Structure 1
Amino acid sequence: MNPSVLAIVAVVLGGAAASLQAPTNAKLANAVGSPVNAALVSFAVGTAVLAVVAFLMQARPDFATVRSAPWYLWIGGLYGAAFVVAATWGVPRLGVATTIILMVAGQLLLSLVLDHIGFMGMPKQPISWGRVGGVALVIAGVVMVRKF
């Protein structure tokens, strides 16, 4: 399979999983008492699953290299935690579709800036009217999903 097609399929499935995760964690928040507790349980389960997958794939991190990485490379989980808690809290108040599309809009807005500056050495992709228009269409989608 073409690597680009495989990447597209993986990302679409990951997005679908996020849509499933949000209402699941919202229900879990009711059971465990808060969105933060639900996120904690969610991350614990995710960590256990990743440990099993890493074991099965015989993926062994080089801990010396990991320890020597700059501090800001260690905080990726912080962003994931913010995402999960926000989704867990937002779904019962806004619905699944509105929560997810608002999250996508937030991701796209910041992504335009990160692409433009080549954040963390990523390839630069200048902000263009077409890219801004694409984000505007997503934001229009937020309004349509919310109002209609």
Structure 2
Amino acid sequence: MQYFLIFLAFLCGAVFPTQAALNTQMTKNVGHPVLAAFLSFFTGLIALFLYILIARIPLQSLSSARNVPWYVWFAGLLGAFYISTVIVLIPRLGFALTFGLIVAGQMAISLLFDHYGILHTPIREISIGRIIGALFLVAGVILIRKF
């Protein structure tokens, strides 16, 4: 099971650049990155709705959403920010630098989330090995930028 989860995480990482490439192509066709992001989310909404229907997920669970803390709703805004920003960055920075910087940012905030248990996540303290790993990611981004 652990290997499947590792593969799934790797696959998720591989999907981001593919999604960015497709969204970049959509931007070229519709003329604006925010329109491309909107269409991306719209397509995703349809796909999720079809999955809900096929998997017979009970819709009455949606009523519980009104009880979540207000800040939880920012997840959708963060997704929109991410997609729109990537669409703008890819043509200007290229794939490798854009995603190198994204991974470095993900690692930095992930270390903080782990260490402090931000948003009720399990605590996994920062270690010297984790810091060195993050620094290697930053060094990789610098090398990608330089060459």
User: Among 22, 25, 37, which residue is 2:35 paired with?
Assistant: 37
User: Which digits, 9 at most, give the CA deviation of each residue in 1:60-82, with x for residues without a partner?
Assistant: 24022112111112221111111
User: 1-side partners of 2:38 and 2:146: how far apart?
Assistant: 33
Q: Secondary structure at the match of 1:75?
A: helix
Instruction: Give RMSD over aligned pairs.
Output: 1.2
Q: Secondary structure at the match of 2:123?
A: coil
| Percent identity over paired residues | 37
Q: TM-score, normalised by structure 1?
A: 0.92
Instruction: State the match for 1:90 in structure 2.
Output: 89
Q: TM-score, normalised by structure 2?
A: 0.93
Aligned residue identity for 2:42: A
Instruction: State the match for 1:100 in structure 2.
Output: 99
In the alignment, structure 2 segments of 5+ residues that lack a partner are none
In the alignment, structure 1 segments of 5+ residues that lack a partner are none
Q: Secondary structure at the match of 1:19?
A: helix
User: 2-side partners of 1:100 and 1:53: how far apart?
Assistant: 29
1:7 aligns with 2:12: no
Aligned residue identity for 2:48: L
**Counterparts in 2 of 1:61-80, with a 5 A limit?**
61=59, 62-80=61-79
